[in-house]
Amino acid sequence: MSSVGIVLASYGRGALVQAGAVALRCGLAGRKLRPVCGDRVRWHHLPNSHAATVESVEPRRNVIERIDARGRAEPVAANVDRLAIMVAPEPAPDWFLVDRYWAAASVKDIATILIVDKGDLGMQRIEADLHNYRKLALPCHEIACRTGLGLDELRRTLADGVTLLVGQSGVGKSSLVNALAPEAAAQTAELTRDTEGRHTTTTARWYRLAEAAAIIDAPGVRDFAPPAHLMRAAERGFCEIHAAGAGCRFHDCRHFDEPGCAVRAAVRNGQIAPRRYESYRRLTRLYEQLAGGR
């Protein structure tokens, strides 16, 4: 007899699976099985034993991957409905990281929102960048986990579907998860007893928010980028650059130094924020380096 459960967290040689009301530590039936946080998996109890095993991974609707330093794709979470990128006035935002996350989600047609935490510290320092993202139609939610500001409205936004929460270390992702899902701390405590617990800080975790809603607290990886096979597509993630690119002389213009480039013209006349253009160039160069290094 096997049942289907959701992977709350995955480790090298096992996974924590939501099995009815309990979270169950499971081994993996085969070496090739690679369950990811958010996966639906078939699992069963071994005969005459408390041990449980993941048999198979159900087909995924999508998977969010990042590339590691060597350019290899590494899955972060599966079956995601929404990407929530978190920033705060402190630590100072890495906007390049925000742009890469947004591009990765756009490529996969996953809705993206920006959550701006620590409203109690004041938003002046980052207001200009926030203004630009709002102009690009990226929904921005200003909150403060510490005071509760904006949390009710955010709760309504996250009331259905699975949200993957990403962002730099220290922006407040886990604070938000604890504010939205009060039982999250209990699940955390349980995980620390896992034999492979040393991996938990680098592992995404799935928490239920409501009957039809969940949130995944992801580790604050700095080198996140969409996988290289999505390189051309990633350009589409920079919506304003993609739109302006329709006016370039060459249809395969990279918008670096080609003549008749409408994107660089738009940057010069202020229609495209130079910082966003710089993000685009950095991502493109990163891919070229990775391709050259193979």
Ligand X SMILES: Nc1nc2c(ncn2[C@@H]2O[C@H](COP(=O)(O)OP(=O)(O)OP(=O)(O)O)[C@@H](O)[C@H]2O)c(=O)[nH]1
Among 87, 162, 231, 261, binds Zn ion (CB under 5 A): 261
Token match 């969940």: residue? 214
Residue whose tokens read 């290289």: 228
Distance, CA of 94 to CA of 278 (rounded, Å): 13
Dump strand ranges (E) for the chain. 3-11, 14-19, 22-28, 40-45, 52-57, 63-67, 73-78, 82-87, 111-116, 140-142, 161-167, 205-210, 213-217
Amino acid at 179: A
CB of 258 to ligand X, least distance (A): 39
Residue 146 binding: pick among Zn ion, Mg ion, ligand X, none (C-beta 5-8 Å cut-off by kind)? ligand X
Under rule CB under 6 A, which residues in 144-203 are in contact with ligand X? 144-146, 167, 169-175
Which residues are paired to 141 by β-bridges?
Answer: 115
Contact residue for Mg ion among 174, 178, 188, 200 (CB under 5 A): 174
Distance CA 78, CA 56 (A): 14
Tell me the closest approach of the beta carbon of residue 116 to ligand X, in angstroms: 10
121 binds, among Mg ion, Zn ion, ligand X, none (CB under 5 to 8 A by kind): ligand X
Between 184-191 and 173-180, two packed helices, what is the crossing angle to 10 degrees? 120
- For 159, phi then psi, to 5°, come to -70, -10
Please report whether residue 171 would count as binding Zn ion according to CB under 5 A. Answer: no
Point out which span in 145-153, 165-173, 236-244, 257-265 binds Mg ion (CB under 5 A).
Answer: 165-173
Say if residue 219 is exposed, middle or buried (CB neighbours under 10 Å; 0-12, 13-18, 19+): middle
Q: How many residues bind Mg ion (CB under 5 A)?
A: 2
From the list 62-70, 97-105, 171-179, 270-278, the region that binds Mg ion by CB under 5 A is 171-179
Least distance to Mg ion from the beta carbon of 173, Å?
A: 5
Figure out which of the listed residues 181, 253, 266, 272 binds Zn ion, where binding follows CB under 5 A: 253
| Closer of 122 and 260 to ligand X (Cβ) | 122
CB of 171 to ligand X, least distance (A): 4
Q: Which of the listed partners (ligand X, Mg ion, Zn ion, none) does 255 bind, with a CB threshold of 5 to 8 Å by partner kind?
A: Zn ion
> Residue 288 is encoded by which pair of tokens?
């070229």
Q: How many residues interact with Zn ion (rule CB under 5 A)?
A: 5
Smaller CB separation from ligand X, 170 or 247: 170
Give 132 or 175: the residue with its C-beta nearer to ligand X: 175
Return the CA Rg of the chain: 21
- Sites for ligand X among residues 113-132 (CB under 6 A): 117-118, 120-121
Binding-site partner at residue 171 among Zn ion, ligand X, Mg ion, none, CB < 5 to 8 Å by type: ligand X
| 274 SS3 class | helix
Q: What is the DSSP letter of 58?
A: P
Instruction: Give φ, ψ of 242 to 5 degrees.
Output: -60, -45
Residues in the chain: 294
User: What residue type is assigned to position 257 of the chain?
Assistant: D
Can you give the binding site for Zn ion, defined by CB under 5 A? 248, 253, 255, 261, 263
Can you give the binding site for Mg ion, defined by CB under 5 A? 173-174
Can you give the binding site for ligand X, defined by CB under 6 A? 117-118, 120-121, 144-146, 167, 169-175, 219-220
